[in-house]
Structure formats: structure tokens, C-alpha cells
Structure 1
């Protein structure tokens, strides 16, 4: 298995993306530590992993809280001996409206949330990675954008800057830092969203393959990138957008 006996922490593990990646990590042999703010959703993912024969533990952690993040990673490392993989898939709490119509607070919120949570979770993990380790971010966007996104696209670009800087500094201790980017994952859109079918069609339109990534696709790619088979890959984006996002 790709991640046999690896110790992985997943933030936002109760969500669709985080849960998919956590399940994939566990299928590939990782001991997965699930973090998030809602116990019930974390327990659901943990139950699924255990039912499939995997190993999972849960912890309620606010990734905006410096002490909570440091205490969580310290506890994992104390019990497991190290941290091998860290993945952050938390929501950035964006408000999407044209820039001329949005408040300063709503514009800055996703940027601040992305910057703070990524910095805190990466720093905490890297402190417990010695000689090797992998940090995965989710949601870089490439050069393209579109009107009406508020601060959302800027928050994704902020994450890319964070990825580059951490890759530069943490690479000295053997830590790789990689971003997974998609053009949207329809399964992550709540069924209650009134325009789900229209949005899915809009997202599929610019793809080169005529389809979009599934949650399973994201999980499988994340597991590969986190594995030693991708040991030469760092300070990079892995594009699973089916060609919707053009490399630059």
C-alpha cells in the first residue's frame, strides 16, 4: 500500500473533500487523525474508515486557533512518534459578489482564513517532520478567474504563495509541499443547492475531458502525491481539473 504505517492528519476531515482524502489515505495504509469543528461529521468518516479495516482517530479542532492546532499536532506526534502527512481542506468562509459591491470585511475574510489556517497547520506539522514529510494544500486556482468571486480567488492565490514559501524553507528538512487544484467537484455541492445541475454544467463546460473530478479521484491523487512514489514532487501544483484549468 502507498501509505503503509504513515501518520496523517487531515483538517476539515468531516467535509466532502477532507473525508474523501482521509478515506483514501486510510485505504492505502495510513493511520489517519481527523480534525474538524463538528464531532458528528468526523465520527461518520472515522466509522467508515474503521468499517473498511482502517485506523482513524478524531479530534475537535478549530484550525483558526493557534493553541488548539499546536496541541493537536503535539498530541498526535507524542502518541505516534511523528507526523508524515498533513492535509488542510477547511472552508475559507467566502462571500462571492462583485468587488465593487462587497464589503472590506467580506472580501478579506477568505484571505485571512486561508492564510491563518494554512500557516498554523503547516507550521505545526513541519515541527514534527524530521527527514521527510508531506504537506498538501487544496484549492489553488491557476491564472484564470471570473467576475463575482469576491475574495475567494485571491484566497486561493494566497495559498499558492504560502505553498511556495513553505516548500522553499521546509525542503531543507526533507518536507515536500504540494497543492491539489480542481475545477470543481460536483459531489461536494450540497444537494440542497437550487442551481446544482446548472453549476455542474457550467463547471464541466471548459474541461478538456468533458467530465469533472470525483471525490474518489481527489482522494486517489492525494494518496499518490503523499506517498514516496512522488518523492521528487514539491513546490508544485497537481492539476486534477480534467483540463478546465490551463497550466501556466
Structure 2
């Protein structure tokens, strides 16, 4: 198992992406600590993990709540003996489909504020423990901040938000590398399973070189690899799982 004996915190663990990552981590032997605002969804993911024989704990918290994030990370490290992996997979609350010229400031700024604040707070909380351990992995989800702008469809502040996450990831990696901590981003280019609109889902697939897009299961598997020692030489970079929709 790739993550045997590891303790992993997944913020947004009740969502599509967070749940997929949490289940993959548990399959690879990690004890998963699900954190998020929606307790029923967290409990459902926890039920699935337990049914498969995995170890899991659930905590209700808002990743934008500084005191609660710090408190939870401290509790995980103290109660489980370490904090080895931290994943931020919370929803950014972005508004899409409205042209920037017609968007309110609040709608534009919301995903940027959420992305930067939650990534900073969750990464900082984990880094304090990981630096002392001289090991650990911090994962963010989004990437693509350096990719070309999207034509014919407005994604609001989302593109700016993932760009900010990219910058923060690189800076964290530079500062934490000397302490044995790795920082990576998973970049999917869009997951058809998470869209109710079939036209959008089909458009994501059509834009890839492989004629298919990453699945939630793909995201979980790559996240488990990134968090494991198999990826010990990787930090400061984005893992491109866009099926060729974007090239590096």
C-alpha cells in the first residue's frame, strides 16, 4: 500500500473531488481525516471508506475559519501521531457563464478570496507539523493558472483563483522544501462527472487529445501517487491529468 501508516486530512472531503481522493487514500492504507462544512456528505464518504475496511474520522469545520483549521490540524497530529498529507479540495463558489463585463465584484472576487485564504490556512496548519516531522505532502486541486484564457465561455474569477493557487504552491514548495515537505497541485482540466450539463461535459472531452477526460477515480489514483514516496522527487509543480487538453 502506497500510504500505509500515513495520516491524511482532506478538506472538502464530502465533495466529488475530496471524496474521490479520500477513498483512494484509504485504499492505499492511510487513515483519512475528512473535514468540511456538510456533515451528512462527510458521513456518507466515511461510511463508504469504513465499508471498504479503511480508517476514517470526520470533523465539521470551515476551511476559512483560521482558529478551527489550526485546532483541527493540531488535534490530528496529537491524536494520530503525525500529519502526513493535507489536501484542499473545497468548492471555490465560483460563478460561471456570466461575462466578466457583466459580473458583480462580489461574484468575481469570491472564488479568489476562497482559494487564497483556504489554501493558505490549511497549508500553514499542516506545514507547522510537517516541518517538525521533516516530511509531509501538501496537495491543492485546480492548477492551470498559466493556461490560455477560455474563449466563448466565461469562468468568472475561477481562472484567476487557480492562478493564485499556482503561485502560492510554488512559494510554499520553495520555503518548505528544506524541511522535507513537498507541495503539488493536481490539474484535471475539468471533470465531466461533476457537471450536470451534458454539453459542458462533452466539450471537456472534445478538447482533449485522448478523446476522454479524467475521471474522479483518476484524480484519486494520481493524488495517492503524489502523496506517496513514489513521487518523492516531485515538488513545486502541477500534475497535468488533462488527457492532453493542455500541454506543458
Return the TM-score normalized by structure 1: 0.96
Counterpart residue number, 1:214: 215
> How far apart are 1:106 and its partner, in Å?
1.3
Which residue does 1:175 correspond to in 2?
181
Does the 8 Å CA contact 1:182/1:245 hold for their aligned counterparts?
A: no
- CA–CA distance in structure 2, aligned partners of residues 149 and 51 of structure 1: 38
1:183 shift after superposition: 1.6
Check conservation: 2:34, 2:56, Cα contact below 8 A.
yes
Superposed CA deviations along residues 133-180 of structure 1, whole A, max 9, x for unmatched, are 000000011422214121110001000011011001111110000000
Does structure 1 conserve the Cα–Cα contact (< 8 Å) formed by 2:192 and 2:202? no
CA distance in 2, matches of 1:19, 1:74: 22
What aligned pairs does 1:21-60 form with structure 2 within 5 A after superposition? Answer: 21-60=21-60
Of 70-79 and 96-105, deviating more is 96-105
Return structure 1 stretches of 4+ with deviation > 3 angstroms.
none
Q: Distance in 1 between matches of 2:116 and 2:20?
A: 23
Aligned to 1:61: 61
Match of 1:2 in 2: 2
In 2, Cα distance between equivalents of 1:68 and 1:146: 36
SS in 1 for 2:32: strand
How far apart in 2 are the matches of 1:146 and 1:173? 37
CA drift at 1:109: 0.9
Tell me, in whole angstroms, the C-alpha distance in 2 between the residues paired with 1:107 and 1:198.
24
Q: How many residues align?
A: 242
Kept after mapping to 1: 8 A contact 2:94/2:157: yes
Q: Describe how 1:1-248 pairs up with structure 2 within 5 A.
A: 1-96=1-96, 97-129=98-130, 130-141=133-144, 142-147=146-151, 148-189=154-195, 193=196, 196-247=197-248
Q: CA deviation at 1:34?
A: 0.2
TM-superposed CA distance for 1:81, in Å, is 1.5
> Secondary structure of 1:243's partner?
coil
- 1:105: Cα distance to partner? 1.5
Distance 1:14 1:123 in 2: 22
TM-score normalized with structure 2 length: 0.96
How far apart are the structure 1 equivalents of 2:129 and 2:200?
41
CA distance in 2, matches of 1:25, 1:188: 20
Q: Secondary structure at the match of 1:128?
A: helix
